[in-house]
């Protein structure tokens, strides 16, 4: 591997690296917080190693949570069941 460089990937391509990861390593600060992830799929493991920052991972999940359609997933903790309840909910239309 050579000197690190910036790379732009589609989210689908990045997800493929995680799903088919041959190498997956959590990069942590010495005191504990997650710095990011090092990942390489089985197909590119001998060519490249991707470093994805924790900030970028959070941003991707936030984008996925907003979605592109009217449906959203609602997750709530049910004390009585001692478990989470997931439900598909329609989002309210924005008023303008």
Roughly how many angstroms between the first and final C-alpha of the chain, as a whole number? 52
3-state secondary structure of 61: helix
* Residue range 73-82, pLDDT digits in tens: 677 888 988 8
Residue 63 above 80 pLDDT? no
Which pLDDT value is given to residue 95?
A: 44
Structure tokens at 86: 């997931």
* Residue range 13-51, pLDDT digits in tens: 888 888 899 999 999 988 878 899 999 999 989 989 999
Rounded Cα distance between 96 and 93, Å, is 9
Residue 1 above 80 pLDDT? no
Residue 3 above 90 pLDDT? no
Q: What global pTM score does this model have?
A: 0.59
Residues in the chain: 96
Q: What is the 3-state secondary structure (H, E, C) of 11-42?
A: HHHHHHHHHCEEEEEEEECCCCCEEEEEEEEC
Which pLDDT value is given to residue 9?
A: 84
Which pLDDT value is given to residue 49?
A: 92
């Amino acid at each position: 591997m050579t000197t690190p460089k910036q790379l732009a990937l589609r989210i689908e391509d990045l997800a493929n690296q995680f799903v088919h990861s041959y190498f997956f390593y959590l990069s942590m600060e010495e005191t504990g917080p997650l710095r990011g992830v090092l990942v390489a799929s089985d197909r590119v493991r001998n060519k490249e190693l991707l470093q994805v920052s924790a900030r970028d991972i959070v941003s991707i999940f936030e984008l996925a949570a907003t979605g592109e359609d009217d449906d959203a997933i609602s997750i709530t903790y049910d004390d009585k069941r001692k478990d989470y309840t997931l439900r598909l909910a329609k989002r309210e239309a924005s008023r303008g």
